[in-house]
Amino acid sequence: MKVDRLLFGAAYYDEYMPYDRLEKDMEMMVKAGMNTIRIAESTWSTWEPEEGVFDFTHLDRMLDAAEKYGISVIVGTPTYAIPSWLAKKSEDILALTHNGQNTYGPRQNMDLTSPIYRKYGERIIRKLMERVAGRKCVIGYQLDNETHPYDTCGSRAQKLFVEYMKDKFPDIKEFNHEFGLDYWSNRVDNWDNFPDIRQTINASLGAEYERFQRKIVTDFFNWQIAIVSEYKRPDQFITHNFDFCWRGHSYGMHPEVDQRESAKNMTVAGCDIYHPSQYDL
């Protein structure tokens, strides 16, 4: 990736505005020396308000205005906040976590391993890419948004974990030995009897499940990279905005994501840094 200038800009959401000020915002950005905006990653329900019904009016408006004012655009895949109609398609889509079954409302409430979520996620990504890949103002793509595994531990995720463990330990006796599972009768002598991971008292097994959850995120990124790469031009990049741990502000590498492994197939890795000073601006 070759960059001959500093990309300076902000996230921009024409679809959030209760009135039209797109032209004014673009003029103000240019006057402020801004040259880039990120768009589209937060509003799947705007792009697909009903199943199979697509409306890219705001997207087209932003791209047209960006090209008029010489603003570069990074387009985000809108998969981190699902529309209400999708949540109602199947209980399979919302994640089951250590705290129970997720319900619709907050963002990032889905199970990344859900085939139904992936099916509809792939469709909206492809529709979006078909719309934007050829636009001259589009310089790159952001995959999803601050992705985590969201503590997913439903039956499908746990079955995938068992397969992951079988690949790692072909000999189940070795598995029992390595994790010290004779303790408190936790021993497993048949993979079909693998217990629910949510209340394990074995810290090593719990840590291994967390490692597996990090792999879920890496696999999710690689799935999206493969789709986006079918459409993107050679001069367009692929990135992600990794976030950090949170204590009222950003403070260190997030343990739920393997950032190095996840970024291997991206053009460049990005990150979101929230500084405490922002609240006093």
pLDDT of residue 267: 98
The answer to whether 10 and 38 have CB atoms below 8 angstroms apart is yes
Domains in the chain, please, with CATH?
Answer: 9-96+107-155+214-280 (3.20.20.80)
pLDDT of residue 100: 94
Where would I find the H helices in 50-182? 57-69, 84-87, 115-132, 155-168, 172-179
> In the structure, what pLDDT confidence band is assigned to residue 148 with cuts at 50, 70 and 90?
very high
| Helix/strand/coil for 29 | helix
Lowest mean pLDDT among 115-119, 235-239, 242-246: 242-246
**Selection from 46, 38, 41, 35 nearest residue 12 by Cα:** 38
The label of the residue with tokens 């459409």 reads 231
Find the mean pLDDT for residues 115-142: 98
Q: What is the pTM of this model?
A: 0.95
pLDDT of residue 276: 83
pLDDT of residue 3: 74
Q: Name the pairing type of β-strands 72-76 and 36-39.
A: parallel
Q: For residue 236, which amino acid is it?
A: Q
**Selection from 17, 129, 116, 148 nearest residue 78 by Cα:** 129
What CA–CA distance (Å, rounded) separates 45 from 55? Answer: 9
**Selection from 137, 185, 191 nearest residue 164 by Cα:** 191
Find the mean pLDDT for residues 151-161: 96
pLDDT of residue 7: 95
Paired with 101 in beta bridges are: 96
Residue 12's φ and ψ, nearest 5 degrees, are -140, 135
Over residues 202-235, the pLDDT tens digits come to: 999 999 999 999 999 999 999 999 999 999 999 9
User: Other C-beta atoms within 10 Å of 186: how many?
Assistant: 15
pLDDT of residue 258: 97
Q: Kindly report the CA angle at 218 between 131 and 236, in degrees rounded to 5? A: 35
pLDDT of residue 278: 78
What DSSP character marks residue 37?
A: E
More confident call, 92 vs 39: 39
Lowest mean pLDDT among 121-130, 134-143, 192-201: 192-201
Q: For residue 119, which amino acid is it?
A: K
Over residues 16-35, the pLDDT tens digits come to: 999 999 999 999 999 999 99
pLDDT above 90 coverage of the chain, percent: 89
pLDDT of residue 203: 94
